[in-house]
A and B are shown apart, each in its own frame.
Chain A
């Protein structure tokens, strides 16, 4: 634990060291872990561990799905070695992945990785673990709500998992579930799976909202005396901003998921053009959530990098306040760029131009963060320990992701790179950097 305390207690601009001693002598110790506390606990570190361990299962599942996809792409229509035998027809015919099963893999790989792996680990696990320790609070503001939020998340995960085994198979209209493909049974042939996807997303959203309320309250209200906002470690700032994004963006997705469920099951037509709805409305709702979501996934990782680098460069973070301003402006701008996912969707061409401009603007704070990280290692006394190597790897991979983003934010270029592997590569570079990090933090903090 001593290592973790050293990390989370990195003082920003001479913050008092009170939470350091708190971390060592607080009431919640890792060695109190019992079998019972694995299943029910209100201790923030216990809940962090619950999120982590449950996510491992989905990490393996989502990773396996990615490997199945890569197998089909690398060796088209060849039988899958070994596990091909265990997947029943009609998903796999003679060991070969069927087209609709491939679509299902695409859909569930993304859904699982985003909602059941990256979010619970970066926010559910690290948020719970780090925030109370870093702000000097005895626990989260609402410990019981915290555990309840975990179980609602677990319910959503269970629903998602079950959707793989219902009649017709899992949802297969992509993680973006573009209507009307997702909204009409005749088009997707997986009404049950798609309905469960909507339910899973709905409950996942509920859990996120509960978590977000908890994080925001803790970070703002439960700080130790003397721990002003501008002494908070950047990881807490990042998690706070992420929680605000969650609170504002997730309800839109939950509502959209509910509307889609009604379209599928109750004969409504919010998104079905042939019955008077508008398919592009779904895209607006989805991406109004979807773009802040990108920052929800990446900001906690940026926060962690901003904390790891000073520790291993043995000097304070370069431009602490600039980093916070960058975080806040990313969060604000993140809500007015969603249309850049829709340049070729048939949306107004003028709106596309406006969204392109706001997207270019949001690249500025991201650039500021990279420059400040460079400033942090400048003149340092750098130790090349695993966390530092991972943080540097994050900068590399985030820069590749960010720079390709500039090309596709230019509307004319997006006309022909949209829907291609250029986009797939772009967001995997962005998110993979984030995923890198939990690896190292797990080693340092969480394996008892």
Chain B
């Protein structure tokens, strides 16, 4: 029976507010929550109003001896009112929500200092690639995907000789913008972190490069795949740690191989085999 139990769970346990949305820890997430609450309040209000009307009518106009139904085919004036008013409300929601949508995904608004991180999903896990200290992710090509090249890296690109990779372990600094590059090796997966109010399908053959976010506090979370991706889908998740800037720097430096650190103190990161995901083929010969 334990065979099917999730082998790892990292996320924060919710101890309060279990009926509401999970805690929100990103900037955009707060805007999205506000929109969600506006719509929910509005619809609940209308729902209650209609239900009150319905039950009032049901009680008031129940069949009684000697009282006949009112003969009416309708009222055009009413029809016009209850078409126009909802239409105006819906237009307002569209303007509000699509304005926000445009802001969230406006490429001009991605901060220049955002940390670039690439995530390549596969059945059933997340391969994660960090850039070197110059924050440049090397070129990759989906046609180069292989068992030994999980990121489809173009090895001729010098930028690919820097940085490092992890498997199911995304660690990010709090307060710094993170710019995601989402890809998939086999089927459609999804990058979903409910606390970040982020969700995005990872589609094979495409690089989704419009997602970015900035966290507001540290903590342990999970990336879940929430697009059905096969028999192991139920257990496809990755840990996600939001660390303080110092802790992140420590972790980031610790991922560097000793040889690389000796080469240059300014630009110390080379492609390593520190993560199991990085195959021998990709290891770079020491200078």
B69 interfacial by beta-carbon distance below 8 Å:
yes
Q: Which residue of B lies closest to A187 (CB)?
A: B187
Hey, which chain A residues are within 8 Å of B233, CB to CB?
99, 103
A279 interfacial by beta-carbon distance below 8 Å:
yes
A188 interfacial by beta-carbon distance below 8 Å:
yes
- Provide the bound-state CA to CA distance between A23 and B101, in Å: 55
Q: Mark B40-65, 1 if CB is under 8 A from A, else 0.
A: 10011011001101100110011110
Contact size range, A: 35 or more
Contact assessment for A377 and B58 in the assembled complex, using a CB-CB cutoff below 8 Å: yes
Hey, which chain A residues are within 8 Å of B147, CB to CB?
none
Contact assessment for A380 and B61 in the assembled complex, using a CB-CB cutoff below 8 Å: yes
B101 is contacted by which of A279, A352, A404 (Cβ under 8 Å)?
A352
Q: A360-B93, A406-B43 are in contact. List 15 more A-B contacts (CB 8 A).
A: A13-B73, A77-B5, A96-B1, A99-B4, A103-B230, A178-B228, A273-B203, A346-B201, A353-B101, A381-B62, A382-B62, A403-B47, A410-B39, A411-B97, A418-B226
Shortest Cβ gap from B43 to chain A (Å)? 4
Question: For residues 294 through 339 of chain A, which have their beta carbon under 8 Å from a beta carbon of chain B?
Answer: 313-322
A367 interfacial by beta-carbon distance below 8 Å:
yes
Hey, which chain B residues are within 8 Å of A361, CB to CB?
87, 90
Contact assessment for B39 and A416 in the assembled complex, using a CB-CB cutoff below 8 Å: no
Contact assessment for A364 and B87 in the assembled complex, using a CB-CB cutoff below 8 Å: yes
- Provide the bound-state CA to CA distance between A40 and B218, in Å: 69
- Provide the bound-state CA to CA distance between A127 and B44, in Å: 35
Q: Chain A interface: which of B76-84, B127-135, B155-163?
A: B76-84
Contact assessment for A384 and B62 in the assembled complex, using a CB-CB cutoff below 8 Å: yes
Contact assessment for A415 and B79 in the assembled complex, using a CB-CB cutoff below 8 Å: no
Closest 5 pairs between A and B when the two form their complex, measured CB to CB: A273-B205, A379-B70, A319-B74, A410-B97, A403-B43
A395 interfacial by beta-carbon distance below 8 Å:
yes
- Most A CB within 10 A of own CB, among B29, B68, B205, B206: B205
- Most A CB within 10 A of own CB, among B1, B145, B194, B235: B1
- Provide the bound-state CA to CA distance between A411 and B104, in Å: 10
Given A103-B233, A318-B74, A319-B74, check contact A381 B61 (CB 8 Å): yes
- Provide the bound-state CA to CA distance between A406 and B40, in Å: 9
Shortest Cβ gap from A3 to chain B (Å)? 17
Contact assessment for A416 and B198 in the assembled complex, using a CB-CB cutoff below 8 Å: yes
Given A356-B98, A406-B39, A415-B198, check contact A187 B123 (CB 8 Å): yes
B167 interfacial by beta-carbon distance below 8 Å:
no
- Provide the bound-state CA to CA distance between A344 and B62, in Å: 48
Contact assessment for B68 and A381 in the assembled complex, using a CB-CB cutoff below 8 Å: yes
Q: Which residue of A lies closest to B68 (CB)?
A: A381
Contact assessment for B186 and A187 in the assembled complex, using a CB-CB cutoff below 8 Å: yes
Contact assessment for A346 and B61 in the assembled complex, using a CB-CB cutoff below 8 Å: no
Hey, which chain B residues are within 8 Å of A187, CB to CB?
123, 186-187, 230
Contact assessment for B72 and A379 in the assembled complex, using a CB-CB cutoff below 8 Å: yes
Count of chain B residues with a beta carbon within 8 Å of a chain A beta carbon: 85
Q: Count of A-B contacts with CB under 8 A? A: 250
- Provide the bound-state CA to CA distance between A313 and B62, in Å: 8
Q: Contact residues of B with A, CB < 8 Å?
A: 1-5, 28-29, 31-32, 35-36, 39-40, 43-44, 46-47, 50-51, 53-54, 57-58, 61-64, 67-76, 78-79, 82-83, 86-87, 90-91, 93-94, 96-98, 100-102, 104-105, 123, 142, 145, 186-188, 190, 192, 194, 197-201, 203-206, 208, 210, 226-235
Shortest Cβ gap from A29 to chain B (Å)? 32
Contact assessment for B47 and A399 in the assembled complex, using a CB-CB cutoff below 8 Å: yes
Contact assessment for A378 and B57 in the assembled complex, using a CB-CB cutoff below 8 Å: yes
- Provide the bound-state CA to CA distance between A352 and B94, in Å: 12
Given A360-B94, A379-B61, check contact A180 B187 (CB 8 Å): yes
B227 is contacted by which of A349, A374, A419 (Cβ under 8 Å)?
A419
Contact assessment for A174 and B228 in the assembled complex, using a CB-CB cutoff below 8 Å: yes
- Provide the bound-state CA to CA distance between A423 and B62, in Å: 36
Contact assessment for A415 and B197 in the assembled complex, using a CB-CB cutoff below 8 Å: yes
A42 interfacial by beta-carbon distance below 8 Å:
no
A413 is contacted by which of B32, B44, B61 (Cβ under 8 Å)?
B32
Contact assessment for A407 and B203 in the assembled complex, using a CB-CB cutoff below 8 Å: no
Hey, which chain B residues are within 8 Å of A315, CB to CB?
69-72
Hey, which chain B residues are within 8 Å of A173, CB to CB?
228, 230
Q: Mark A408-434, 1 if CB is under 8 A from B, else 0.
A: 001111011011100000000000000
Contact assessment for A180 and B75 in the assembled complex, using a CB-CB cutoff below 8 Å: no
Hey, which chain A residues are within 8 Å of B227, CB to CB?
178, 419
> Can you name 12 A-B pairs with beta carbons within 8 Å?
A99-B4, A178-B187, A181-B230, A318-B74, A319-B78, A345-B201, A367-B86, A406-B90, A413-B97, A415-B104, A415-B197, A419-B192
Contact assessment for B232 and A99 in the assembled complex, using a CB-CB cutoff below 8 Å: yes
- Provide the bound-state CA to CA distance between A384 and B74, in Å: 22
A412 is contacted by which of B35, B230, B232 (Cβ under 8 Å)?
B35
- Provide the bound-state CA to CA distance between A215 and B208, in Å: 45
- Provide the bound-state CA to CA distance between A352 and B210, in Å: 14
A372 is contacted by which of B53, B68, B74, B204 (Cβ under 8 Å)?
B74
- Provide the bound-state CA to CA distance between A98 and B231, in Å: 9
Contact assessment for B98 and A411 in the assembled complex, using a CB-CB cutoff below 8 Å: yes
Contact assessment for A381 and B67 in the assembled complex, using a CB-CB cutoff below 8 Å: yes
- Provide the bound-state CA to CA distance between A414 and B97, in Å: 10
Contact assessment for A322 and B200 in the assembled complex, using a CB-CB cutoff below 8 Å: no
